[in-house]
Amino acid sequence: MEAVVEIPRGSRNKYEIDSDTGAIWLDRMLFTATQYPTDYGFFPRTLAEDGDPLDALVLAEEPTFPGCHVRVRALGVFWMRDEKGPDAKVLTVVAGDPRWDGVDDLDGVPVHLLDEIAHFFEIYKTLEPNKTTETRGWEGRSPAEGVIARARDRFEASPELMRDGQDRCPSPPES
């Protein structure tokens, strides 16, 4: 499956990709003294419960860059809510990365890394006015795949998104 990175690991900048133009906008800098613990982006042609494309967390050896398309495999899902409602985050690894070969679920991910990611989402909006987060923890690959399937179904059931340009993310080249 494909993810599009908006924010590289280690950044405090919150970027957004404009679905109509493909332009990458600096939305804001994080108000807290913390950085994104993974590359952060979305799955094209999905619609999450908050009305945005479904969020993807990409574990990669090196940070990528905003707009980078990556083939990924899902390992699990982090459940949380923010001021807009449910906001699931699907944890993925770069498909074909030998460092993650044989890791098919959360039990192959270091517990401390999962704790770091959870901690980030507990605090990253703390100093922003009128922003909140509530976290509920991790579930494995099967629930993550279900979240992705439901987000794709919601997108397909919303033809207005196709007209609004949210289907413009090109498919990756064949490997």
> Catalytic positions, please?
87
**pLDDT computed for residue 162 by the predictor:** 56
CATH number for the domain that contains residue 158: 3.90.80.10
- 171 lies in a domain? no
Q: Is residue 173 part of a domain?
A: no
Range(s) of the domain holding residue 101: 2-163
Q: Is residue 169 part of a domain?
A: no
Report if residue 122 sits inside a domain.
yes
Overall number of domains in the chain:
1
HEC states along the chain? CEEEEEECCCCCEEEEECCCCCCEEEEEECCCCCCCCCEEEECCCCCCCCCCCCEEEEECCCCCCCCCEEEEEEEEEEEEEECCEECCEEEEEECCCHHHCCCCCHHHCCHHHHHHHHHHHHHCCCCCCCCCEEEEEEECHHHHHHHHHHHHHHHHCCHHHHHCCCCCCCCCCCC
Question: Does residue 174 lie within any of the structural domains?
Answer: no
Local confidence pLDDT in tens for the 175 residues of the chain: 999 999 999 999 999 998 889 899 999 999 999 999 999 999 999 999 999 999 999 999 999 999 999 999 999 999 999 888 899 999 999 999 999 999 999 999 999 999 999 999 999 998 999 998 899 999 999 999 999 999 999 999 987 765 455 554 544 445 4
Total-model pTM: 0.89
